[in-house]
C-alpha cells in the first residue's frame, strides 16, 4: 500500500526568516548533497540542468547567489515512494515530480533511497531544487520559478505530488489501494488524530526499551516525553474512538432480534390485536399503562391525542425525564488539539484527552490496566501530586 508523506524545508539568508533553524550557512548545502547522494543509501541519483559538473561547485554557487540577493538557497523535499512499485517506476515518479516542480527550467538533484536496511520497507526520495529567478521584462523584482515562498505553495506542491503519483500508478495498472491523498484527516471527514513522525533511530531505541534524549527547549510542549511515547497515546485515542464507533454501529445489548430493524421481516400482529379486543395475545393486562390518565367517554379530553401521546402521559411521574448525554465532539474539532496544530501537540493534553475518552466511552476502563500506562506520563502525575500537597 502506498503511503503519503511529503516534507519540505529550506535554508535562507533572508533576515525576515520565521525561525532560526532556517538560517543558511556556507557549507550546509554541500553537506546536504553529500549526505543524500552517499552510495551507502542512494541507489539512483538524478542530476538535471545543473550549471556546474560537481555537487560541491553547485552548492557553493547557490549559496553565494542566495547571499547576494538575501534569499533562499534551495528547496528540499522528501517524498515517500510506493513499496509496490518497481525501482524503474520509482525513478520515473521522482523525475516526473522534479520536472513539474521546477517547471522544466530550474535544476535539481534527486536521490532515491530504497536499497538496504529500513529503506527497503520505507522507500523515499530526497530532492534539492535550485531556483531560477526569471525577469519579467518590467521594473519589478525577478520572479521565482519554483515559487515555494508564495502563499499556499507547500499545499499546492503536495497536491501536485499526489496527482502525479496517482496518475502514473493507475497507468501502470495499480489499484485503488495504491492511491494517496494530500488532504488531512479532517478534510476527508476522518475522525482520527495523525501520528507524529518519529524517525528510524528513535523508533529503534524505543523498541529496545531505551529512552531517547529529549530537548529541554521543547519540555513545555512534550513534558519531557519522546514522539514515540506521544504516538502510543495517539494510537490509544484512535483505538478508543474506533471501538466506540463500532459499538454504535453494531450494539450488543441483547435487546431485539435480527429482524428488529427490517419491517418486511416483522410478523404482522394486527390480526392478533383485533382478535384479542385490542390486546396483544398473551398479554394479561391492558394495552394502556396503569399510570396513563383515564378519560371518560364524552368528556372534553376525549379524542385529544396529546393526552396520551405527550411525554407526561408516556412516562410515569415518579421516573421523571432523563436527558440523553451529548455525543463527544469529533477529535478533529477538539479545541485543545486543534490549537497546537498537527505536530506541536501538548503531551499532557493528549493524555487528558485519552483518559477523558476512556472514562466517558468506557467507564470500566477509567483506571489504567497495568503499570506500563502509568509510566508513560510520570511528570503529569507527579505535578498533580505536588499540587495536591500544596492544597493540603
Residue-level pLDDT, tens digit, the chain, 392 residues = 578 999 999 999 999 888 888 999 999 999 999 999 999 999 999 999 999 999 999 999 999 999 999 999 999 999 999 999 999 999 999 999 999 999 999 999 999 999 998 899 999 999 999 999 988 766 777 889 999 999 999 999 999 999 999 999 999 999 999 999 999 888 888 888 877 777 777 777 777 878 777 777 666 656 677 777 888 888 888 888 888 888 776 655 444 444 444 444 444 544 444 444 444 444 444 445 444 445 444 444 444 444 444 444 444 444 444 444 444 444 444 444 444 344 345 677 888 888 888 888 877 766 555 544 444 444 444 444 554 555 55
Let me know whether 172 and 212 are in one domain: no
299: in domain: no
- SS3 call for 155: helix
Is residue 82 domain-shared with residue 150, that is, in the same domain?
A: yes
Distance (Å, whole) CA 113 – CA 115: 6
Q: Are residues 111 and 214 in the same domain?
A: no
Tell whether 142 and 236 lie within a shared domain: no
Total domains in the chain come to 2
Give a yes or no: residue 195 inside a domain. Answer: no
pLDDT reported for residue 65: 95
Residue 286 in any domain: the answer is: no
- Helix, strand, coil abundance in the chain, percent, nearest 5: 45, 10, 45
Q: What is the pTM of this model?
A: 0.62
What local confidence, expressed as pLDDT, does residue 265 receive? Answer: 46
The answer to whether residues 106 and 171 belong to one domain is yes
Calpha distance 8→75 (Å, rounded): 7
pLDDT at 94: 98
| Cα–Cα distance measured from residue 353 to residue 347, given in angstroms and rounded to the nearest whole number | 10
Range of the domain at 350: 200-247+329-391
Angle at 235 between CA 229 and CA 237, to 5 degrees: 110
Tell me, yes or no, whether 54 and 164 share the same domain.
Answer: yes
pLDDT, tens digit (0-9, with 9 covering 90-100), for 257-268: 444 444 444 445
Same domain membership, residue 107 and residue 25? yes
Place of cell 392478533: 272
Q: Do 173 and 209 have their domain in common?
A: no
Same domain for 141 and 61: yes
Residue 296 placed within a domain: no
Q: Is residue 380 part of a domain?
A: yes
In a domain, 41, yes or no: yes
User: Is position 379 within any domain?
Assistant: yes
159 and 219 both lie in a single domain: no
- Does 271 reside within a domain? no
Query: Where does a domain end: 132, 148, 178?
Result: 178
Report the run of H or E that residue 201 belongs to, with start and end: helix 200-207
Examine the domain organization and report whether 217 and 79 are in the same domain: no
Q: Do 89 and 238 reside in the same domain of the chain? A: no
Q: Which residue has the cell 530537548?
A: 215
Query: From CA 65, how far away is CA 130, in angstroms rounded?
Result: 11
Triad 347, 240, 5: Cα angle to 5°: 60
CATH number where 148 lies: 3.30.930.30
Report the pLDDT value the prediction gives residue 345, as an integer from 0 to 100. 53
Cβ atoms 223, 380 nearer than 8 A: yes
Q: How far apart are CA 81 and CA 4, in angstroms?
A: 8
Please give the C-alpha separations between residue 24 and each of 52, 76, 131, 206, in angstroms, as whole numbers: 21, 13, 15, 32
Q: Show which of 144, 178, 212 is a domain's final residue.
A: 178
Contacts of 226 (CB under 8 A, 6+ apart): 198, 202, 206, 211, 212, 214
Q: Which residue has the cell 523498541?
A: 207
Amino acid at each position: 500500500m502506498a503511503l503519503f508523506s511529503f516534507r519540505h524545508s529550506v535554508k535562507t539568508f533572508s533576515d525576515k526568516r520565521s525561525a532560526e533553524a532556517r538560517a543558511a550557512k556556507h557549507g550546509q548545502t554541500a553537506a546536504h548533497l553529500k549526505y543524500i547522494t552517499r552510495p551507502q543509501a542512494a541507489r539512483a541519483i538524478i542530476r538535471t540542468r545543473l550549471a556546474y559538473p560537481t555537487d560541491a561547485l553547485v552548492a557553493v554557487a547557490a549559496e553565494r547567489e542566495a547571499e547576494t540577493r538575501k534569499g533562499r538557497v534551495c528547496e528540499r523535499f522528501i517524498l515517500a515512494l510506493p513499496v509496490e512499485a518497481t525501482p524503474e517506476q520509482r525513478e520515473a515518479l521522482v523525475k516526473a515530480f522534479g520536472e513539474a516542480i521546477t517547471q522544466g527550467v530550474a535544476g535539481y538533484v534527486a536521490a532515491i533511497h530504497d536499497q538496504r536496511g529500513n529503506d527497503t520497507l520505507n522507500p523515499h526520495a530526497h530532492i534539492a531544487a535550485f531556483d531560477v529567478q526569471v525577469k519579467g521584462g518590467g521594473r519589478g523584482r525577478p520572479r521565482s520559478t519554483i515559487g515555494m515562498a508564495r502563499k499556499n505553495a507547500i499545499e499546492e506542491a503536495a497536491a501536485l505530488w499526489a496527482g502525479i503519483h496517482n496518475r502514473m500508478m493507475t497507468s501502470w495498472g495499480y489499484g485503488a489501494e495504491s492511491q494517496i491523498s494530500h488532504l488531512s484527516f479532517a478534510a476527508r471527514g476522518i475522525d482520527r488524530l495523525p501520528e507524529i513522525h518519529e524517525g528510524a533511530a528513535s523508533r529503534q531505541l524505543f523498541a529496545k526499551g531505551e529512552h531517547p534524549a529529549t530537548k529541554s527547549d521543547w519540555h513545555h510542549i512534550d513534558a519531557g516525553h519522546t514522539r514515540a511515547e506521544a504516538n502510543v497515546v495517539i494510537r490509544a485515542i484512535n483505538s478508543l474512538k474506533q471501538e466506540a464507533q463500532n459499538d454504535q454501529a453494531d450494539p450488543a445489548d441483547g435487546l431485539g432480534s435480527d429482524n428488529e430493524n427490517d419491517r418486511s421481516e416483522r410478523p404482522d400482529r394486527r390480526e392478533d390485536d383485533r382478535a384479542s379486543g385490542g390486546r396483544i395475545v398473551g398479554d394479561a393486562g391492558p394495552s394502556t399503562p396503569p399510570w396513563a390518565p383515564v378519560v371518560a367517554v364524552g368528556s372534553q379530553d376525549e379524542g385529544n391525542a396529546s393526552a396520551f401521546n405527550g411525554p407526561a402521559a408516556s412516562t410515569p411521574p415518579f421516573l421523571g425525564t432523563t436527558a440523553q448525554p451529548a455525543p463527544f465532539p469529533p477529535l478533529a474539532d477538539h479545541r485543545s488539539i486543534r490549537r497546537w496544530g498537527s505536530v506541536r501537540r501538548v503531551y499532557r493534553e493528549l493524555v487528558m484527552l485519552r483518559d477523558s475518552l476512556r472514562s466517558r466511552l468506557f467507564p470500566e476502563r477509567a483506571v489504567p490496566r497495568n503499570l506500563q500506562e502509568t509510566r508513560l506520563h510520570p511528570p503529569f502525575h507527579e505535578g498533580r501530586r505536588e499540587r495536591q500537597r500544596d492544597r493540603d
